[in-house]
Amino acid sequence: MNNDNNNSTLEQCSIHDFDLNMICDYFSTMERQGPGCDEMTLKALSFIKPLTAESKVADIGCGTGKQTIVLAQHLPSKVVAIDLFQKFIDILNQNSKGLGLQEKLTGIVGNMETLPFQEEEYDLLWSEGAIYNIGFQKGITEWRKFLKKGGYIAVTEASWFTNERPEEIDQFWKDAYPEIDTISNKIHQIENAGYIPVATFILPEYCWIENFYELQKEAREIFLSKHKGNPTAEALAANEKHEYDLYRKYKSYYGYVFYIGKKI
Ligand code: SAH
């Protein structure tokens, strides 16, 4: 936990420096906690061999589960959704029940570093905007054992679109998430971890702008009025705004990418 953040250190800090409970509170009023959209969830799903009612699917780092609901609505299979935060899981389970999906979709609290899964239990492991928490390479490597042979992994990850980029954005990401890399390097990592790279595509800008950053404006107001005068809360909100400003300025150099791999 780092309570020392303030506007003067804003340039150097990122979402990763803040207290997790504070982050949870900030994002809990939003329907997504990361960039994404239903259409891209379905596009990724289109590269995966048809599943059956017996197939097992897990959504890791599901947040409040916008994409998990899409999975449960479009797959015949049972879906388990896992997140570190009880509050997110409560929202997901409530939404799932409201849509009559409670038989198919179960949200559980858990840690992606110590997943409560059996070896070769799953046909599909999903993770949108969350694998960075364990690290892309570690995540795809360690989660592989939970997949059946021929099973799929589908994750989104921040990636560079070019080999070179302006110093300001390079430095920001080196501090925030040093594992950000080019798409070709990420594909090599997928191959090296024991998967066939099945598909890769860049998420459209609106997944990040309209569906994530713009929605934060309202969430930020709710959050700031709740935590009036709290310097950590103010720094977190300012940090998110700073990230959005950088995205608008440098979005031709980086973005979120869907990676789909098949376990060999
Ligand atoms: N998949 C969702 C949420 C993405 S935000 C979406 O696309 O909207 C990243 C999520 O990872 C958050 O919900 C956060 O609580 C969760 N998370 C962070 N560290 C985690 C961990 N160690 N284990 C499980 N979930 C974690």
CA of 129 to the centre of ligand 1 (A): 7
Q: How many CA atoms lie within 13 A of 31 on its CB side?
A: 14
Residue nearest to atom 9 of ligand 1 (CA): 130
Residue nearest to atom 5 of ligand 1 (CA): 33
Which atom of ligand 1 is closest in space to residue 62's alpha carbon? Answer: 1
Tokens of 222: 């709710």
Whether the CB of 107 sits within 6 Å of ligand 1: no
Asked if residue 14 is part of any domain, the answer here is no
Asked if residue 242 is part of any domain, the answer here is no
Residue nearest to atom 20 of ligand 1 (CA): 84
CB 41 within 8 A of CB 71: yes
Residue written as token pair 């409040």: 64
CB 154 within 8 A of CB 125: yes
Query: What's the sign of the alpha-carbon dihedral 21, 22, 24, 25?
Result: positive
Asked if residue 138 is part of any domain, the answer here is yes
How much is the pLDDT for 15? 62
Q: CA end-to-end span of the chain, whole Å? A: 39
Number of structural domains in the chain: 1
Q: Which domain holds residue 256?
A: 32-204+252-263
Tokens of 117: 């899964």
Asked if residue 232 is part of any domain, the answer here is no
Please state, in angstroms and rounded to a whole number, the distance separating the CA atoms of residues 20 and 130: 14
The pLDDT tens digits for 138-184 are 999 999 999 999 999 999 999 999 999 999 999 999 999 999 999 99
Asked if residue 236 is part of any domain, the answer here is no
CB 22 within 8 A of CB 233: yes
Count CB neighbours of 138 within 10 A.
Answer: 14
Q: What is the CATH number of the domain that holds 46?
A: 3.40.50.150
DSSP letters, 152-182, are EEEEEEEEESSS---HHHHHHHHHH-TT-EE
Asked if residue 114 is part of any domain, the answer here is yes
Asked if residue 8 is part of any domain, the answer here is no
CA distances from 153 to 131, 194, 223, 254 (A): 11, 11, 34, 22
CB 65 within 8 A of CB 92: yes
- Under DSSP, the state recorded for 241 is H
Tokens of 136: 């892309």
CA of 109 to the centre of ligand 1 (A): 11
Whether the CB of 85 sits within 6 Å of ligand 1: yes
Q: Which helix (H) or strand (E) holds 121?
A: none
How much is the pLDDT for 17? 62
Please state, in angstroms and rounded to a whole number, the distance separating the CA atoms of residues 195 and 71: 22
Which residues does the chain have with pLDDT short of 70? 1-17
